[in-house]
Amino acid sequence: MTDKLNLIETIAKNDSFSTFSRLMGTSHANEAFSTGGDFTVFAPTNDAFGKIPDKQMDTLLNEPGQTSLKKLLSNHILPGKMFASNLSSKLSTPTITGSEIRISDSNGLKINESGVQARNIEATNGVVHALDTVLNLDSKTFTTGPLTPVAETEKAAQPVPAGFISQASENGKSDAAAAAK
């Protein structure tokens, strides 16, 4: 029997990811892992979520179905298992939503200007890396530095697992109050 936990359990047991874990559950973004296969998760720490203005967090939490929150969190998930050593050789890679994230390894490993604080936290179905800032690919809300232009993001978009994002609108508010800070 293995001591490793799956991604949902690995994220949930780490106190630094308690906000991310809670939000993944309330928005149903953790359903992405039910499609099978391995994933790489860039999990923002609790401090990273603390950088988001309260008004913007309230908007995400109180949206019926939390569709925007689900999409935001899904932008932190890559298909396949990528250790830090694999990431440093890439310039960009798509998330499960098809949005591109930028990777740099000068002055420390960074994902879209967000610093990677902890690396290679292994799970049975993937690997987790801790981030110091929540990634965002939509300049209409909050940013973490220079963003990929919308036209390039749309060009790079790949299909999301069938019904993944659209199911969020059917799930209702689902514990939005419990996910609040």
Per-residue model confidence as pLDDT tens digits over 118-128: 999 999 999 99
Mean of pLDDT values over 66-89: 94
Backbone torsions φ then ψ of 32, nearest 5 degrees: -60, -35
What is the band of 88 on the pLDDT scale with cuts at 50, 70, 90? confident
Contact 136, 51 (CB under 8 A): no
Q: Give me the residues paired with residue 6 across strands.
A: none
Mean of pLDDT values over 160-173: 43
The reported pLDDT for the residue numbered 30 is 94
Q: What is the mean pLDDT of the chain?
A: 81
Instruction: Say if strands 114-123 and 110-111 run parallel, antiparallel, or are unpaired.
Output: antiparallel
Angle at CA of residue 154, ends 152 and 158, nearest 5°: 115
What is the side-by-side order of every strand in the sheet holding 126-131? 77-79, 39-44, 126-131, 114-123, 110-111, 100-104, 92-94
Q: Is the pLDDT of residue 95 over 90?
A: yes
Per CATH, the architecture of 7-167 is what? Roll (2.30)
What is the band of 3 on the pLDDT scale with cuts at 50, 70, 90? confident
> Global pTM?
0.75
The reported pLDDT for the residue numbered 165 is 45
Closest CA to 126 of 1, 3, 2, 11: 11
The reported pLDDT for the residue numbered 4 is 87
109-151: pLDDT as tens digits: 999 999 999 999 999 999 999 999 999 855 433 334 433 333 3
